[in-house]
Structures are given as structure tokens and as C-alpha cells.
Amino acid sequence: MFGRLFRGLFALVVTFGLVLPVLFTALYRFVPPPVTYLMVERTVQGRGFERRWRPIQKISPALVRAVIAAEDAHFCDHHGFDFAAMEKALKHNARRPGKVRGGSTISQQTAKNVFLWPERSYVRKGLEAYFTILIEVMWGKRRIMEVYLNSIEWGPGVYGADAAARKNFGVGADKLSPAQAARLAAILPSPLKWRAAAPGPYVRTRALRIGRAAGTVRRSGMEACVLG
């Protein structure tokens, strides 16, 4: 009896813990992820829902460079995890616990946004690491960036680059200028509080800094894994 129960539990763990994640990851390699946990949560909260999926070739290269400059300068070099950035974030948070800095890569953020819930916990972080490895292996950098730019939150009820570009600047994601792209990248840490269309002094300064860094990304070919 106990043997059958153990085998049944083991089968469930294997199915839900290993097989289904691989199947969904394989599916989303080709099919746009329909919604995320955060999208559903925000919609229930009454924030609305606006999203228009755009393939990476219909998103301005300026935005790709800006988010790499702002969020993950080593995106094309690492295999999902930037351990130097994690260590730097840990040291910063130890010194300034009231102003926490994240060390997650774009790959980690994509894994969390698409497959998981936003709550901080060791279980979620463990699953995030697992899904990060899966998408790095099964998707590759170009697809990771494509899903990332189409899934992240860019304001109340605004998800993805095209919805954000139209909401803030009245243009499609393919028409974003470098300055507009830098502003969108600048608000990513706090999209419910900051506005790209009418930025305050801090966001304007941050956008200028990101714009300069995005120029370095372009000149150094740091976006080659996506745009090359």
C-alpha cells in the first residue's frame, strides 16, 4: 500500500515538477505566452489589460539596447545568471537594507514573469533558477528578449513594448526613438509609479544615463545575440 502511494506521489512530482515545465517551455519557444500571473492579478485588481504582441523584428533595436543597458549589460555573455551582479547586489543590500537592489538578469526576470508568481520566497527563487536554465537552453537569447519585451509591465494595465510605446508616445514599438526607448527602460524598476511620457527629474536623469549606456551597447556589439 505504502509502496503504491509512494510511487503515485513520485509520479506526480516528476510530472508537475519536471515534465510539464519542459513541455510549456518548449511550447512557448514558438507560441506567445498568453498571460502571466501578474497580468491576471493586476486585472483582478481593476488595473485593466492592454497588450499587443510584436515579434522582435518589429520592435525598435533602440529598445533592445536600452533594456540591455538598464537591466542586464552582460545579457549576451552569461548563461542565465550574472554572479558578479548578484554579489554586488548582496553587498549593496547589506549596506543599505532600506533600498534593495536586484541582481536578476533579463533571463531570470523572463522566467519569473512568464511562469511564476511575483511573491519573494525561496521556493519561487528555486523555480526561477530552474526555468531560467530551461529557457536559456531551449529558447536562446533572441527568443528570451522577444518574450521579455512582450510580457513585462510598463504601467497600470500596460504590458509589452508595443502597448507601452503607444500609451506613452503614440507610436508602435518599431518606431521608438533612442530617447523614447531610454525613457521606457528607465521606468522598468517602478512602472506603476514612474511615467515615461511625463518623467520627473529622477527618471529624466536616469533616462539620459541609460541613453548614453545604450550607445556603448551599440558601439561594442553587446546586443549581437539579439540583433546580430
| Cell representation of residue 131 | 526555468
Residue 11 forms part of a structural domain:
no
Residue 120 forms part of a structural domain:
yes
Higher pLDDT, 91 or 122: 122
Task: Provide the domain limits for residue 158.
Answer: 32-227
Averaged pLDDT for residues 76-98: 72
CB distance 146 to 174 below 8 Å: no
* pLDDT score recorded for residue 123: 85
Residue 1 forms part of a structural domain:
no
- Residue 60 maps to which CATH number? 1.10.3810.10
Averaged pLDDT for residues 135-151: 98
Range with the lowest mean pLDDT among 28-32, 71-75, 82-86?
82-86
What does the pLDDT look like over 27-45, one tens digit per residue?
A: 999 999 999 999 999 999 9
Residue 14 forms part of a structural domain:
no
- With 80 as the cut, is the pLDDT of residue 196 above it? yes
Look-up of cell digits 549593496:
92
Q: How far apart are CA 210 and CA 220, in angstroms?
A: 15
Averaged pLDDT for residues 214-227: 97
Residue 15 forms part of a structural domain:
no
* pLDDT score recorded for residue 193: 95
* pLDDT score recorded for residue 220: 96
Q: How confident is the model at residue 4 (pLDDT cuts 50, 70, 90)?
A: low
Q: How confident is the model at residue 90 (pLDDT cuts 50, 70, 90)?
A: low
Residue 103 forms part of a structural domain:
yes
Sequence-distant (≥ 6) Cβ neighbours of residue 136 within 8 angstroms:
79, 80, 107, 144
- With 60 as the cut, is the pLDDT of residue 2 above it? no
Residue 7 forms part of a structural domain:
no
CB distance 85 to 204 below 8 Å: no
| Cell representation of residue 134 | 530551461
Residue 84 forms part of a structural domain:
yes
Higher pLDDT, 177 or 102: 177
pTM of the model: 0.89
* pLDDT score recorded for residue 7: 47
Angle between helices 106-115 and 61-71 in degrees, nearest 10? 100
CB distance 131 to 13 below 8 Å: no
What does the pLDDT look like over 102-120, one tens digit per residue?
A: 679 999 999 999 999 888 8
CB distance 196 to 70 below 8 Å: no
Range with the lowest mean pLDDT among 63-77, 93-107, 186-200?
93-107
Higher pLDDT, 1 or 183: 183
Q: How many domains does the chain have?
A: 1
What does the pLDDT look like over 9-23, one tens digit per residue?
A: 444 444 555 778 899
Q: What is the DSSP string of the chain?
A: -HHHHHHHHHHHHHIIIIIHHHHHHHHHTTS-----HHHHHHHHTT---EE----GGGS-HHHHHHHHHHH-TTTTTSSS--HHHHHHHHHHHHH-TTS------HHHHHHHHHHS-S---HHHHHHHHHHHHHHHHHT-HHHHHHHHHHHSEEETTEESHHHHHHHHHSS-GGG--HHHHHHHHHTTTSTTT--SSS--HHHHHHHHHHHHHHHHHHHHTTTHHHH-
Higher pLDDT, 53 or 228: 53
